[in-house]
Amino acid sequence: MHGLLQIPVKPSSGWELKPMYDRAFFDTLTYERVAKTIDHSLLKPELTVDEVVAGCRLALQYHVASVCVKPSDVALAGSVLTGTDVKVGTVVGFPHGSSTSATKAFESRQALQDGAEELDMVINIGRMRSNEDDYVYKEIAQVVEVAVGRAIVKVILENAYLTDDEKERACKLAEKAGARFVKTSTGFAPTGATVKDVDLMRSSVSSVIQIKAAHGVRTLDALLEMMQHGVTRIGATATQSILEDFKTRKGVA
């Protein structure tokens, strides 16, 4: 365990220390690198216009990578963030992935027209589980074709519903279709990102494809652990507390 930062956890037998991430790794990190790992999530259906604007302003205050907003909020987010270092992202076929391929392509075109620079699309989960790999591939490819040269595409697998074989195949289909990221979860399924799934996803694609973890990464420790396993983007709602914790530990303002 030498070199590992540890946090106490309490199992039934008493307190013990659980290693989370390597101290040497933490020492290499800058604020910018950690902040630019975060996509600040503003996807709760009940968010008001004022709450979305406040969330965008928070993202800008902390200089994260992007906000991820509902499709109806893309233009609103752009009114706050256009011309800044925080990108506007949105979702496609969200959260269940059950829209038709044509609808997903239309959603993507509309999002780009409204100013989105990143698209997080949900695969058709039922078709993936039905071994209709060609359907899933063609659907991803349609969205990528719409986005090419204008936005990056992240493909949400919704791992909670897939077997390991299905996760691996879905990752390979996303890469074949030209996506830039594969992503663990929407945040609306029973479970979210796990280290096991992230390791599987990382091993299923080439180094060109990046990994995004979402759902359940609520602390700095969890974020750092995911980063050590190859994650380069995190979907987070606890952005402020995560980054304030990082600044405190680093002793920076």
Q: Domain 30-250: what homologous superfamily?
A: Aldolase class I (3.20.20.70)
pLDDT, tens digit, 9 for 90 and up, residues 133-175: 999 999 999 999 999 999 999 999 999 999 999 999 999 999 9
Q: How is the chain split into domains, by residue range?
A: 30-250
pLDDT digits (tens, 9 = 90+) for 99-137: 999 999 999 999 999 999 999 999 999 999 999 999 999
* Residue for token pair 């694609």: 205
* d(C-alpha 253, C-alpha 236), whole Å: 22
- The residues annotated with a catalytic role in the active site are 120, 183, 212
In this structure, what token pair is assigned to residue 212? 């995004």
> Cα angle at 251 between 247 and 253, to 5 degrees?
60
pLDDT digits (tens, 9 = 90+) for 222-234: 999 999 999 999 9
Q: What pLDDT band is residue 5 in, cutting at 50, 70 and 90?
A: low
Task: Kindly provide the residue ranges of all beta strands, DSSP E only, lying in the chain, ordered along the sequence.
Answer: 4-9, 16-22, 38-42, 66-69, 87-92, 118-122, 152-156, 181-183, 210-214, 231-236
Greatest distance between any 2 Cα atoms in the chain = 57
